């Protein structure tokens, strides 16, 4: 085992490998490489009773090969002296955690702190700030009021089911399933990292909510009505909400522009809302989204149609103070617009227009569907590249597509997005919402 080998070794797809150090200095030292690329040092040894143990030494590259060998030698000496290194570590950790984590609320504090620091990465990569914010919202809105004050041992399957059933009774099936997943994650942390409990109560709680994949695709008339409403939202009022009936719908111009860009670029709401000036090259009409801001962790280049460039220029002209964001938060220019702001605005607009339920992701689906239809006949492969979907191919093809083809297919993507932008313009220029929509 060498430094060069440790740095370059990768695991096969959907597999995990364990490699033992053949150097006598590191006798018993093992490197575990997961499919996500996470590399962990560990040692196997036997206690005085002859029981085999595994002791985690740390992560690579935080812990180098040389340092891992040193810790391995120290652990072996402890074992020879009758001390069980793994057992001692567990004992100290449990003792430390047990002093602070008693209730579910205590666990939430430890969980979110570890998640924000990047110490808890259940899928091998740090969670985005928007993901953490969504988890905190679920905790504050649904979980904490019902279960926060309970001791961990009292968060039973029965208590969890009561909460989930209450949400389903309100018609919130999706929220019920999201809450279940969130509780499961928090208890996984409690078991694997905090060592505050030994079993996950969610293991005996099935998902109770009925969910089906969304298939909402907007009609031409709906696209046109929403676009025109975003241009002039002053006449919009809440139509159905008893609490806000006839109250004016407020959609700021930056938010309206961001929603339009969702439709023109086919990118996700957090990618648009958090767009930075450094990411866009308006002269070349290219938006580079770094892997740290994409769902699959892969960077992507988005060609910008003339309409998208014009919208971004307008958004930038609306900001008079220095900021890195194209859409800075209204009260704090050091922060970006929140993705939730786009969802709320779109919800209010479609409600004022008396349209069926609609989410930002439905705009992405609508654009992709229209591109693939007989109206534009764009290749599904090109649409997939625009959407930054992970390739299903493996082996050398995956390496080519993910690494070397970052700048490839730009011409095809640009042509597709330009054609879609022209079609949107034609749709917007058509008749009002109550007129028949065009075929396709």
Q: Which tens digit of pLDDT belongs to each residue from 313-340?
A: 999 999 988 899 999 998 888 889 988 8
Q: How many residues does the chain have?
A: 440
Which domains occur in the chain, in start order? 3-85 (3.30.160.390), 100-204 (1.10.150.130), 220-428 (1.10.443.10)
Q: How many helices (H) and strands (E) does the chain have?
A: 17, 7
**DSSP 3-state of 60:** strand
Q: How far apart are CA 187 and CA 18, in angstroms?
A: 27
The residues with which 19 forms a beta bridge, in sequence order, are 31
Average pLDDT of the chain? 84
Which of 120-129, 199-208, 352-361 is the least confident region?
120-129
Q: What is the DSSP letter of 325?
A: B
Q: How far apart are CA 323 and CA 326, in angstroms?
A: 8
- Residue-wise pLDDT tens digits, 360-400: 999 999 999 999 999 999 999 999 999 988 654 444 344 44
CB 291 within 8 A of CB 297: yes
Smallest CA-to-CA distance from 218 within 424, 414, 407 is with: 424
- Residue-wise pLDDT tens digits, 194-205: 888 888 999 989
Q: How far apart are CA 269 and CA 336, in angstroms?
A: 12
CB 440 within 8 A of CB 374: yes
Q: What predicted TM-score, i.e. pTM, was given to this entire model?
A: 0.61
Q: How far apart are CA 27 and CA 70, in angstroms?
A: 11
- Residue-wise pLDDT tens digits, 72-115: 888 878 777 677 776 666 666 655 555 578 899 999 999 999 99
Which of 146-155, 208-217, 311-320, 340-349 is the least confident region?
208-217
**DSSP 3-state of 39:** strand
């Amino acid at each position: 085992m060498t430094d060069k080998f440790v740095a370059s070794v990768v695991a096969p797809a959907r597999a995990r490998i364990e490699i033992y150090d053949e150097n006598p200095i590191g006798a018993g030292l093992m490197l575990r490489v997961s499919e996500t690329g996470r590399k962990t040092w560990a040692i196997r040894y036997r206690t005085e009773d002859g029981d085999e143990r595994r002791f985690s030494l740390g992560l690579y590259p935080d812990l180098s090969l040389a340092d891992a060998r040193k810790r391995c030698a120290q652990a072996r000496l402890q074992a020879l002296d009758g001390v069980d290194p793994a057992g001692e570590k567990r004992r100290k950790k449990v003792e430390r955690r047990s002093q602070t984590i008693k209730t579910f609320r205590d666990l939430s504090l430890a969980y979110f702190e570890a998640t924000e620091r990047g110490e808890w990465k259940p899928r091998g990569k740090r969670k985005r700030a928007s993901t953490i914010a969504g988890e905190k919202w679920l905790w504050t809105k649904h979980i904490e009021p019902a279960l926060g004050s309970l001791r961990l041992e009292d968060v039973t399957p029965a208590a969890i089911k009561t909460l989930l059933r209450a949400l389903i009774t309100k018609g919130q099936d999706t929220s019920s399933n999201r809450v279940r997943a969130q509780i499961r994650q928090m208890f996984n942390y409690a078991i694997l990292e905090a060592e505050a409990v030994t079993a996950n109560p969610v293991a005996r709680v099935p998902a109770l909510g009925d969910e089906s994949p969304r298939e909402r695709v907007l009609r031409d008339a709906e696209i046109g009505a929403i676009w025109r409403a975003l241009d002039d939202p002053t006449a919009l009022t809440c139509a159905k909400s008893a609490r806000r009936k006839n109250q004016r719908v407020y959609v700021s111009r930056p938010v309206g522009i961001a929603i339009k860009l969702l439709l023109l670029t086919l990118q996700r709401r957090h990618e648009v809302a958090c767009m930075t000036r450094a990411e866009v090259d308006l002269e070349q009409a290219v938006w580079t989204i770094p892997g740290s801001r994409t769902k699959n962790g892969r960077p992507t280049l988005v060609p910008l149609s003339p309409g998208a460039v014009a919208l971004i220029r307008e958004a930038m002209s609306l900001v008079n103070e220095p900021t890195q964001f194209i859409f800075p938060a209204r009260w704090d220019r050091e922060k970006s617009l929140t993705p939730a702001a786009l969802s709320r605005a779109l919800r209010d607009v479609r409600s004022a227009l008396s349209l069926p339920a609609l989410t930002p992701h439905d705009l992405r689906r609508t654009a992709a569907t229209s591109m693939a239809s007989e109206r534009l006949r764009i290749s599904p492969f090109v649409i997939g590249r625009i959407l930054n979907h992970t390739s299903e191919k493996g082996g050398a093809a995956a390496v080519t597509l993910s690494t070397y083809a970052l700048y490839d297919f730009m011409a095809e993507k640009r042509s597709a997005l330009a054609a879609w932008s022209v079609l949107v313009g034609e749709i917007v220029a058509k008749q009002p919402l109550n007129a028949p929509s065009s075929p396709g």
